[in-house]
Chains A and B, each alone.
Chain A
Amino acid sequence: MVKNFDIYYRRLFETAKDGIVLIDFKNGAILDVNQFLIDLLGYSKKDLIEKYFWEIDALKNIVNSKKNFSSLQKREYIHLDNSQLKTKTGKKINVEFIANAYPVGNKKIIQCNIRDISTRKQTEEKLKYSISLLNASLESTADGILIVDINGKISKWNKKFVDMWKIPEEILSTSDDQKTIKYVLSQITNPNNFLAKIKKLYEHPRTTSFDQIEFLDGRVFERYSQSQKIGKDIVGRVWSFRDITNKKRAELEISKFSKAVDNACDTIIFTDIKGNIIYVNKSLKKTFDYSQKEILSLHISKLCADPEKSKKIFLDVIKNDLWEGETISLKKNGKIFYSRLSSSTIKDQENNIIGTMDIITDITHEKEIDKMKTEFVSLSSHQLRTPITSINWITEMFLNGDFGELNKEQNESIKMINKSSRRMAELIDALLNISRLELGNFSINPEPLILRNIIDDTLKELSYAILKKEIIIKKNYQTKILKINTDQTLLRIILQNIISNAVFYTLPKTSVTIKTFIKKDYFIIKVIDQGIGIPKEDSSKIFTKLFRSSNAQSYKTDGNGLGLYITKLIIDSLNGTIHFDSTINKGTSFYIKIPIKSVPPKKSDKSLVVTKNNNLKI
């Protein structure tokens, strides 16, 4: 039968790049196979010819039995997209299989074409992988991406794009770029500009472009667009969008902050970890007279009159993260000025110290004002004291009888003048002390003192009042206390205030008890009166400046409201504490605690003033 094939058909059969096998339609016996199939399967022609199709191992996957073959006979056509053959050596090959029955002369045959699709299959797998990779990349990127083909049809987008632009899927799925653009334009601040740019890009498909898009709702996107190419041919355009709203806001914040730093009145300096200056603000020129260029990379200690101290401060900052205090700064021209320095560490995200920030404030003017204030108080108190001296002394001479006997009214009147003048002298002392205490401008000279002697001295000054009010003084000194190491002036002022208060406010014919003892690391002085007491509602204000409780004001009209304030400031300066218990109309107990370990000495040209109360007998 084969002999009836014309020569061309034979040639085609022999040279085809598909495997071809011809089968007898009637019984399924193999009539012929071409060379390609022989090569593909690894069998010889002899192995195949005259065998039944289902007897061949390699072909069993397709037709495995006679029964199976009869269904092929019935249908006369089979097309298997992807079937598998096994070669003689056992290798599996993916094939496409097409069987067709047709008559040749008076005989019917089936022609089976077998095409090796292993390579195609591999390519398909690769493509599938590439597409899945592309999809995964598209979906996992932080950018919104839209791909439009050369005709303006939307070919791909990721979910991020949809989210960012809030575009309904139904618009995108129409693949119509114009509809999408329309939707987009309604959201942005400058749609015409955006549209013009898109138009230009469509006209110049090769252009890559970058832009920023501002939204009506305040968001800001970066847009990047470039052509999509296959080889050299442009097939579309990729648009990617990035939401930079937060970045923009942060930038704005930083720019505001850096503006504030740049223009701050105080000098602000950043150094690296070694203390070399890496940034200074504009104020530096004014305060230190260096230009930016001159100062950068200089060491921070160059700005201090005492470079060694500056280096110490720097190490202290690195160790403790913060240093605050006063320093003396050095200008470029060698002049110095007083400054307040606040220096702190700068850390990176991993909390490593990368440098310091130093804020320097010129306090020359403050210092001058402080000095002026101190001098003013000191001088004015001197000026105020002079006329008071004369009044004191002259009235005293009257009362002393130096100008002859006074009648009762004269005596009372002069006494009143003298008393007022004495009060004025006390007030001047109190104001002077407050000015010094508040500025911390007073000396502390600790020395061993016999506590009971100072208490007794104080009581002696008050002896007239004690006698007149018939007050009993109960002393309860713990014998152990011989010496207390502290500043005599300060201790005297404390005791004068607390004991005189007790004497003044205790009721006539009662007692005042003074106890001294040691408790833990403290000397305790306890002064207990049986007086008017401190109203509960006043107890928090009793140590404040110029405060007098209502009952004290009516009981003793000539207090100045400064005694307890001064006392508290002094006790604070000695690292001690003071507190009280009080019951209205029953009495008050003050507890003073002063550490046994004295505060260190402090030098100053000013000391506090102790008012001598030896005039009280008048």
Chain B
Amino acid sequence: MDKKILIIEDEESVTYSMDIKFGLIPDLKIFHAKNGEDGLKIALKEKPDLIILDIIMPKMDGIEMLKQLRQDSWGKNTDVMVLSNLSNQDKESEAKNLGVKDYIIKANYNLNDIMDRVINNLKK
């Protein structure tokens, strides 16, 4: 597939699960960041095909990272999926206004379903 994804997530066990699952996708390169600040740097450097973004994180939260990403000429159209456990309508609509594909409550979703969505997003 020769695609790149960036997982910005501070919770190790969640990253661990995604690494294993997404590792099953052939020719996919996975980058990691544990907060928004690092995530933004890596994104601008690696220019991944899809960013998986948590909301509540240390240093810079997901929404702030997204805002800054959208300032960038490359970043303004990059595909972003929000995977958070925060159910807050304001955050969700803010994220959607910033052009994210999905706002998914992790605890309520199967990883299989999430992987299907990731693959779908990468295919385009």
Contact = CB atoms under 8 A, between A and B. Distances in A.
A441 to B, nearest CB: 11
B11 A386 contact: yes
Nearest to B18: A393
B88 A387 contact: no
B24 interface: yes
A614 B112 CA distance: 11
Given A612-B109, A614-B113, A389 B20 contact: no
Interface stretch (A78-86, A234-242, A324-332, A424-432): A424-432
Contacts of A612: 108-109
A216 to B, nearest CB: 73
B89 A392 contact: no
B21 A393 contact: yes
Contact of B111 (A396, A443, A614): A396
Given A387-B13, A390-B17, A378 B88 contact: yes
Interface residues of B, number: 26
Contacts of A402: 20-21, 24
A604 B107 CA distance: 23
B14 A397 contact: no
Contact of A393 (B17, B56, B86): B17
Looking at chain B's contact residues, the main secondary structure is helix
B87 A432 contact: yes
B61 to A, nearest CB: 12
Contacts of A428: 107
Interface string A239-267: 00000000000000000000000000000
Interface residues of A, number: 30
A609 B111 contact: no
B20 A615 contact: no
Nearest to B106: A389
Contacts of B111: 392-393, 396-397
Contact of B17 (A397, A429, A615): A397
A389 B16 CA distance: 11
Nearest to A394: B17
B85 interface: yes
A611 interface: yes
Interface in B19-75: 20-21, 24, 56
B87 A605 contact: no
Interface string A363-406: 00000000000000010011001111110111011001010000
A96 B3 CA distance: 147
B85 to A, nearest CB: 4
Contacts of B113: 614
B85 A389 contact: yes
Given A385-B105, A386-B14, A607 B21 contact: no
B22 to A, nearest CB: 11
A379 to B, nearest CB: 8
Contacts of A611: 108
A189 B20 CA distance: 97
Contacts of A607: 87, 89
B120 interface: no
Nearest to A378: B88
Contacts of A443: 89
A429 B14 CA distance: 19
A397 B24 CA distance: 11
A403 to B, nearest CB: 8
Contact of A614 (B18, B24, B85, B110): B110
Interface of A: 378, 381-382, 385-390, 392-394, 396-397, 400, 402, 425, 428-429, 432, 443, 604-607, 609, 611-612, 614-615
List 5 A-B pairs, minimum CB-CB distance, nearest first.
Answer: A390-B13, A385-B85, A385-B107, A605-B90, A393-B17
Interface of B: 11, 13-14, 16-18, 20-21, 24, 56, 84-90, 105-113
